[in-house]
């Protein structure tokens, strides 16, 4: 019998804002907003839990946040400090396992099935890691524990801040059935709208759709949604490797002409998927590549390089649609579509060298933190 994996997802609580409160004692217990100027085109990148009580959240215009809480402290991001703390936390992870997959500065997956301490229970490992982080950095974190990455990530968000949630194979279905559909990772805004139009509002509703129904609507991604509704995720925790590109592609269930409206809908979904992967990898990219494979198995690619790096779905989509316009419409029927973003760099690395207005464009659509 295959050993059940023990996966932990660690997510720091209001990471940037918590560091600012730690480093400036007068901010302790106060509403803190990390982001842009509230009297300009500022946008909230993240905020403390004290600020969230006023309905303030990331991606909100700072001017709106100011109206809701005019005595909040607005802080410009210090990414060099955040990176240093992130490395400190990552060193703690490596005390327990070498199977660490960082997702961004403030979160990571850990496979502790066979951990360095020889601890039997992943829940105990998670508690020890949380204690180490608090003692050595003065920051709290939330942990999700389960048998796969999908459930571990959902669990870490369940009892924030300073939470610890375990989802076992025995209780996973009851948990997923009541989970709102927008909490399923991998389901973006476009997909959520389509599902809600089908009457799918939670995991139970999603589980009622057959695999044939899902694949007829979402093509190959339908199989993924079918699996997630049942708590199935076979992805392994992959130790950090420098990414050279981030991409996504799908083989169509039926071949389409380039002029078919459905082609643009599929490309829109792919662009959103690539954008989510970039956000999770903390990357931005300058080169956008469209891949098309036809029914005779010939393959072509078209690329465009931009002056400034991007990561937002709408920016990627604009570039891809421009590439589509340059394709021959009579080439043949399409059987595969793919989008890749390359020429990557770290999002925060770029943000430390740009103007306030460029910074706003980066964080405006962010829902992280």
Asked if 109 and 7 count as a contact pair (C-beta separation under 8 A), the reply is yes
Q: How far apart are CA 349 and CA 352, in angstroms?
A: 6
Asked if 196 and 184 count as a contact pair (C-beta separation under 8 A), the reply is no
Q: How far apart are CA 226 and CA 210, in angstroms?
A: 8
Active site residues: 107
- Helical packing angle, 189-197 and 261-281, nearest 10°: 130
Q: Say if strands 44-47 and 7-12 run parallel, antiparallel, or are unpaired.
A: unpaired
Coil/strand/helix, residue 117: coil
Phi first, then psi, for residue 229 (nearest 5°) are -60, -20
Token pair recorded at residue 52: 């969230």
Q: What letter does residue 236 receive in the DSSP assignment?
A: P
Q: How far apart are CA 275 and CA 284, in angstroms?
A: 9
Coil/strand/helix, residue 149: helix
Cβ burial 163-202 (10 Å sphere, 16+ → b, else e): bbbbbeeeebeebbeebebeebbebbeebbeebeeeebeb
Q: Establish how many alpha carbons lie within 13 A of residue 301's alpha carbon, considering only the half-sphere containing its beta carbon.
A: 11
- Helical packing angle, 261-281 and 313-325, nearest 10°: 140
């Amino acid at each position: 019998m295959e050993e059940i994996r023990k996966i932990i997802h660690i997510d720091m609580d209001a990471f940037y804002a918590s560091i600012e409160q730690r480093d400036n004692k007068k901010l302790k217990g106060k509403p803190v907003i990390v982001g842009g100027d509230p009297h300009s085109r500022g946008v909230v990148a993240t905020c403390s839990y004290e600020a969230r009580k006023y309905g303030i959240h990331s991606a909100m215009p700072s001017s709106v946040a100011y109206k809701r809480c005019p005595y909040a402290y607005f802080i410009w991001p210090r990414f060099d400090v955040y990176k240093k703390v992130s490395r400190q936390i990552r060193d703690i992870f490596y005390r327990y396992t070498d199977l660490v997959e960082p997702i961004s500065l403030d979160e990571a997956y850990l496979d502790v099935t066979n951990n360095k301490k020889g601890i039997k229970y992943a829940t105990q490992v998670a508690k020890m890691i949380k204690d180490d982080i608090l003692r050595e950095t003065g920051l709290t974190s939330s942990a999700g524990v389960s048998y796969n990455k999908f459930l571990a990530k959902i669990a870490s968000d369940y009892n924030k801040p300073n939470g610890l949630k375990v989802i076992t194979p025995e209780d996973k279905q009851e948990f997923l059935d009541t989970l709102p559909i927008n909490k399923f990772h991998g389901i973006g805004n476009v997909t959520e709208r389509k599902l809600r139009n089908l009457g799918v509002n939670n995991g139970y509703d999603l589980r009622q759709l057959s695999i044939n129904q899902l694949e007829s609507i979402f093509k190959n991604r339908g199989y993924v949604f079918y699996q997630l509704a049942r708590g199935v995720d076979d992805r392994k925790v992959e130790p950090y490797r420098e990414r050279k590109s981030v991409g996504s592609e799908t083989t169509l269930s039926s071949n389409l002409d380039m002029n078919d409206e459905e082609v643009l809908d599929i490309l829109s979904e792919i662009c959103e998927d690539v954008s989510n992967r970039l956000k999770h990898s903390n990357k931005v990219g300058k080169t956008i590549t469209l891949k098309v494979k036809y029914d005779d198995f010939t393959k072509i690619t078209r690329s465009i390089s931009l002056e400034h790096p991007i990561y937002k779905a709408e920016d990627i989509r604009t570039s891809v649609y421009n590439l589509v316009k340059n394709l021959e419409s009579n080439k043949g029927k399409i059987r595969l579509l793919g989008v890749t973003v390359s020429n990557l760099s770290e999002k925060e690395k770029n943000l430390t060298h740009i103007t306030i207005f460029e910074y706003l464009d980066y964080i405006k659509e962010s829902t992280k933190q």
